[in-house]
């Protein structure tokens, strides 16, 4: 069976049909040509003659005149046939051709649509870049997702959750055994362990931390409200950087 679509599309393309109309009309005309072709073949006509005879009934100028006249009338909305081919990309080529033709018919609208999309993408990218640089990857901090805050607990002093000083920080750095997860801290609370005579440290992950330098040039941290624990605010920058670089293996949840 000949592929009628190229011939039909060539006849329909000069008309100002909506894609919906065009699909419906093309499908129906193809069926008509198929029927005519098969009838001629059945009567002994050669394939080439049958094809030419079938296409002769689809006069381009007559079709153009009739459909243009019809297109000027309102409410013409033929039902679009469902595709019998269930392949996902079966209509891709036709869809692309329709898209190109519709865009070509309305260059002003096409330009407006393209510019709108371009501006939207640019604005989105700009806003994301700002958020990314300010909140997700603040300047001066590498691997911010691994940043930890160290907290201390003194059982005998009834200090459950306090900031650590630089000396405490050195202590936890030099005595890893005292470093526990928050869960373990709770588990050992009140028991006669060696940590009861000294501080127990734990750490928790800092989310959405951003940093700035204070007036003395020593950086300190600012946390989100949910993570209001502050890092040591005093000390030299070198110590603070070491603090930032400190890797805690078991952050509290």
Partner 1 sequence: MANQPSVSELKKGSAELLILSLVEARARHGYEISKMIVARSAGDLRFNAASLYPLLYRLEQRGWIEGRWVEKANQRKRRYYRITTAGKKVLREKRTTWQAFVTAVNRVTGVENA
67 touches partner 1 (CB under 8 A): yes
Residue 103 exposed, middle or buried by CB count within 10 Å (0-12, 13-18, 19+)? middle
Provide the token pair at 91: 């209509």
91 touches partner 1 (CB under 8 A): no
In this structure, how many other beta carbons lie within 10 angstroms of the beta carbon of residue 184? 15
User: At closest approach, how far in Å is the CB of 76 from partner 1?
Assistant: 5
Would you say 57 or 120 has its CB closer to partner 1?
Answer: 57
State the number of binding residues for partner 1 (CB under 8 A). 29
What is the rounded distance in angstroms from the CA atom of residue 163 to the CA atom of residue 230?
7
Closest among 45, 38, 43, 56 to 2, alpha carbons compared? 38
Q: CA geometry: angle at 98 spanning 95 and 103, to 5°? A: 125
User: At closest approach, how far in Å is the CB of 128 from partner 1?
Assistant: 46
Q: Which of 9, 41, 45, 78 binds partner 1 (CB under 8 A)?
A: 78
From 72-80, 138-146, 152-160, 180-188, give the range in contact with partner 1 by CB under 8 A: 72-80
User: At closest approach, how far in Å is the CB of 6 from partner 1?
Assistant: 16
34 touches partner 1 (CB under 8 A): yes
Q: Which of 47, 70, 100, 127 binds partner 1 (CB under 8 A)?
A: 70
Query: Strand, coil or helix: what is 161?
Result: strand
Span 2-31, contacts to partner 1 by CB under 8 A: 25, 27-29, 31
What is the rounded distance in angstroms from the CA atom of residue 72 to the CA atom of residue 60?
18
Would you say 71 or 198 has its CB closer to partner 1?
Answer: 71
What is the rounded distance in angstroms from the CA atom of residue 214 to the CA atom of residue 252?
29
Each as own residue / partner, the long-range contacts of residues 94-103 (CB below 8 Å, 24 or more positions apart, any chain) are: 94/5, 94/23, 97/9, 98/19, 98/22, 98/23, 101/13, 102/19
Q: Render the burial of 163-183: b for 16+ CB within 10 Å, e for the rest.
A: ebeeebbebbeeeeebbbbbe
Would you say 27 or 227 has its CB closer to partner 1?
Answer: 27
69 touches partner 1 (CB under 8 A): yes
226 touches partner 1 (CB under 8 A): no
Would you say 54 or 149 has its CB closer to partner 1?
Answer: 54
Q: Which of 59, 95, 145, 237 binds partner 1 (CB under 8 A)?
A: 59
Would you say 4 or 243 has its CB closer to partner 1?
Answer: 4
């Amino acid at each position: 069976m000949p592929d009628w679509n190229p011939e039909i599309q060539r006849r329909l393309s000069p008309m100002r049909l909506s894609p919906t109309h065009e699909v419906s009309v093309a499908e129906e005309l193809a069926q008509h040509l198929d029927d005519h072709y098969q009838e001629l073949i059945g009567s002994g006509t050669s394939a080439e003659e049958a094809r030419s005879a079938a296409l002769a009934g689809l006069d381009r100028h007559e079709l153009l005149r009739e459909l243009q006249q019809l297109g000027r009338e309102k409410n013409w909305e033929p039902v679009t046939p469902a595709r019998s081919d269930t392949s996902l990309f079966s209509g891709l080529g036709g869809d692309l051709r329709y898209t190109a033709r519709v865009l070509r018919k309305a260059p002003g609208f096409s330009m407006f649509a393209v510019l709108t999309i371009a501006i939207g993408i640019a604005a989105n990218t700009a806003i994301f870049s700002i958020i990314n640089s300010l909140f997700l990857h603040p300047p001066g901090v590498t691997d911010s997702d691994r940043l930890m805050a160290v907290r201390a607990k003194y059982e005998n002093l009834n200090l459950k959750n306090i900031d650590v000083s630089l000396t405490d920080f050195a202590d936890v750095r030099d005595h890893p055994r005292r470093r526990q997860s928050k869960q373990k801290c709770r588990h050992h609370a009140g028991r006669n362990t060696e940590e009861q005579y000294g501080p127990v440290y734990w750490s928790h992950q800092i989310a959405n931390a951003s940093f700035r330098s204070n007036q003395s040039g020593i950086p300190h941290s600012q946390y989100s409200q949910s993570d209001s624990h502050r890092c040591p605010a005093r000390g030299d920058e070198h110590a603070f950087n070491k603090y930032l670089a400190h890797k805690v293996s078991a952050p509290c949840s």
